[in-house]
Amino acid sequence: MAGKIAVIGSGSWGTAASGLLSPHADEVRIWAHSPRVADSINSDHRNPRQLKDYVLPGNVSASHDFAQVLDGAESMVLATPSSFLRGICEELAPSVPKDLPIVVLTKGIEPKTHLLMADVAADVLGEPERVAALSGPNHAEEISRGMLSAAVVAGSREDVVSYFQQAFVSQAFRVYRSDDLVGVEVCAAVKNVVAIACGVSAGLGLGDNALAVLMTRGLAEISRIANAMGGRPLTCMGLAGMGDLVATCTSRHSRNRTFGEAYAKGTTLEEYESATGMVVEGARAALSTWELAHERGIESPLTDAVHAILYEGRKLDDVIGLLLDRDPHVEFYGLDGVE
């Protein structure tokens, strides 16, 4: 049993994660950007914007004030959109003790710096060894209903990893440990890009075989990027890789998959995010992953394709044609020990 755990972010995942943490803590305090959301959580135990039907446990409360949320906290969970993570960490910094364990739920790669999300948090808050990341096939809608799921928590310090494993684990939410922080975070970020491609494929009615091809070739692409960044390709076969990829590319809960479907039918990114009130992380990851891959010379055809339609104004038919014109390679090229 922990004392107080601070959760930074009141989106769907931050809300569901707070429920997971509540049996293991005396108090879970959520930081909400909106005072109205914080007031609703405190008065009705519900988030009025995300997971509206989910009744939060009684030991979960919220505040709009960083200092109040972090006062007396034993650990901190970061669950903000990737594009806001650095700025929020900068605001948090004066209130975060140097020895406070941190776990990052945010998935992405920062544009220009190409830092993974745990690296962004460590860059601002210091003490990188105390920063871990948790990832896996974790749709908040199902977790809030107590449905079976699993995740992997990764970091360089065994005590930090074990702490967060115990903080999240339950009979319905299985948590495994890893020391491959880079591999887990690359999987978490790039699978969202692949999910957009899968959504576009589904939206165009290209069939189940095409979906399977995109997922498996997407997994190979993720493995090449992870390998080039110092992660282990085998991590991509685990919960953060294959597990999350399957869920994100096939589920109706996946905003990246459903955005891809909507895009294929003429909906823009701005229209989709405005209508749903949710951030499509894969659209941001497509930009930063494309930058990273080109900087390091990593072959990434699916990332190139998603970048082309979102940021280069390319037509879907042209991009599909470019993918189909590629000569097939040896299946696992670009990985250690594979020619």
Which secondary structure element, helix H or strand E, spans residue 26, and what is its range? strand 25-31
Extract the tokens encoding 106: 């945010």
Q: Is position 98 annotated as part of the catalytic site?
A: no
Cα-based distances in Å from 296 to 9, 11, 332: 33, 33, 18
CB atoms within 10 A of CB 116: 27
Find out whether 297 and 195 touch, Cβ atoms under 8 Å.
no
Cα-based distances in Å from 306 to 79, 97, 131, 285: 25, 40, 31, 10
Give CA angle at 134 (79, 213), nearest 5°. Answer: 105
DSSP state of 331: T
Q: In one letter, which amino acid is 258?
A: T
**Which of 4, 52, 191, 265 is an active site residue?**
191
Which secondary structure element, helix H or strand E, spans residue 4, and what is its range? strand 2-8
Catalytically active residues, by annotation: 191
